[in-house]
């Protein structure tokens, strides 16, 4: 097989491999690095002897990501505040029938398994549990192969996936886009009024707000729970950064559903660039996720301007 032909075959599996890497690690950068490393290994392997290229590449990416998870676990020990997976932020509206220049990351988040609530639960699993569950339940990798990747017995691989499945099953099921959009729009409209009561009414009775800045920007250091506390927190941020803060938030697709992205504001009270996503349950916002750490915004593919002065607008 020529190098060109091999590269073409590899590219045909690229979106799948990115999906594997992202769901195993929760990191766009780690997923992209793992896919690139799999190509390097393929280029130096005896490609003619590989019977199932997709399965071979999946195994290679999974092994690389398994090791990345171990590194991430050590980083989290010294991380400031809450830890969230990296969001994938893409353009909100893609014209129907568009086939050219499709962002591979848009393909990655087309499945419900990449919604934020599911990824947050995956982050709570041990690395072996996460690998076993994602590979078997998400990509139908046989338990014998999962066991080989994790260096455990097949029975142990089954048990790891089973334990993970019990936790994942507790995640709120994704709602239809129309319901999600309506709930998020209602919350943003309530925030624009500045009325704590109206904001609280737009939130689920069991709502929570999770902020992730790694100590680089203002957000909640601990999880904020309950409509009243969340409403006060949201409006407190707006008051802290100024009335133009909400105007800097632009609709975007965050892991496949309506969220927002901001390039930030400069001035006396600079508002850092950030992205936000939501989980909707029973018609209202059940969880909101504030991604304020620049290192967690590598999955933002929406073109952003540099931070601008308050009161100015894009052309």
| pLDDT tens digits along 155-174 | 999 999 999 999 999 888 88
Q: How confident is the model at residue 102 (pLDDT cuts 50, 70, 90)?
A: low
How large a percentage of the chain has pLDDT more than 70? Answer: 91
pTM of the model: 0.88
Helix or strand (DSSP H, E) at 211: strand 203-212
89-90 vs 284-291, strand pairing mode? unpaired
Alpha helices, DSSP H, located in 194-291? 196-201, 227-241
Give per-residue burial for 39-57: e unless 16+ CB within 10 Å, then b. beebeeeebeeeeebeebb
Residues 158, 164, 168, 170, CA torsion sign: positive
CA distances from 167 to 22, 124, 125, 161 (A): 19, 9, 8, 10
Q: Are 230 and 224 in contact (CB under 8 A)?
A: yes
**Which pLDDT does position 96 carry in this prediction?**
46
**Is the pLDDT confidence value at 214 over 60?**
yes
CA distances from 228 to 197, 203, 208, 224 (A): 8, 9, 10, 10
**Which pLDDT does position 306 carry in this prediction?**
47
Distance CA 221, CA 215 (A): 8
Distance CA 120, CA 116 (A): 6
**Which pLDDT does position 266 carry in this prediction?**
63
**Which pLDDT does position 305 carry in this prediction?**
60
- The H helix count followed by the E strand count for the chain is 13, 7
**For residue range 3-25, what is the model confidence (pLDDT) as tens digits?**
678 888 899 999 999 999 999 99
Distance CA 123, CA 26 (A): 7
**Which pLDDT does position 315 carry in this prediction?**
39
Q: How confident is the model at residue 313 (pLDDT cuts 50, 70, 90)?
A: very low
Span of 43-52, 127-136, 248-257, 303-312 with lowest mean pLDDT: 303-312
């Amino acid at each position: 097989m020529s190098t060109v032909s091999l590269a073409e075959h590899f590219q045909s599996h690229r979106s799948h491999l990115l999906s594997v890497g992202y769901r195993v690690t929760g990191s766009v950068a780690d997923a992209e690095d793992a896919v690139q490393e799999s190509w390097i290994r393929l280029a130096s392997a005896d490609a003619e002897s590989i019977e199932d290229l997709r399965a071979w590449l999946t195994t290679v990416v999974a092994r690389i990501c398994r090791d990345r998870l171990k590194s991430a676990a050590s980083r989290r020990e010294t991380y400031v505040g809450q830890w969230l997976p990296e969001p994938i932020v893409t353009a909100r509206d893609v014209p129907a029938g568009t086939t050219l220049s499709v962002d591979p990351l848009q393909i990655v988040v087309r499945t419900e398994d990449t919604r934020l609530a599911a990824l947050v639960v995956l982050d709570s699993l041990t690395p072996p549990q996460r690998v076993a569950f994602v590979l078997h339940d998400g990509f139908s990798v046989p338990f014998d192969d999962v066991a080989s990747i994790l260096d455990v017995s097949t029975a142990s691989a089954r048990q790891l996936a089973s334990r993970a499945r019990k936790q994942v099953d507790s995640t709120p099921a994704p709602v239809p886009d129309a319901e999600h959009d309506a709930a998020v729009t209602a919350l943003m409209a309530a925030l624009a009024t500045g009325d704590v009561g109206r904001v609280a009414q737009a939130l689920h009775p069991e709502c929570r707000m999770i902020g992730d800045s790694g100590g680089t920007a203002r957000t909640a250091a601990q999880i904020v729970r309950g409509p009243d506390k969340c409403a006060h927190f949201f409006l407190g941020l707006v008051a802290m950064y100024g009335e133009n803060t909400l105007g800097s938030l632009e609709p975007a697709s965050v892991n496949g559903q309506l969220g927002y992205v901001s390039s930030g504001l400069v001035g006396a009270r600079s508002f850092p660039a950030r992205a936000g996503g939501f989980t909707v349950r029973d018609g209202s916002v059940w969880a909101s996720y504030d991604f304020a750490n620049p290192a967690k915004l590598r999955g933002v593919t929406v073109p952003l301007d540099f931070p601008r002065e308050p009161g100015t607008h894009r052309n």
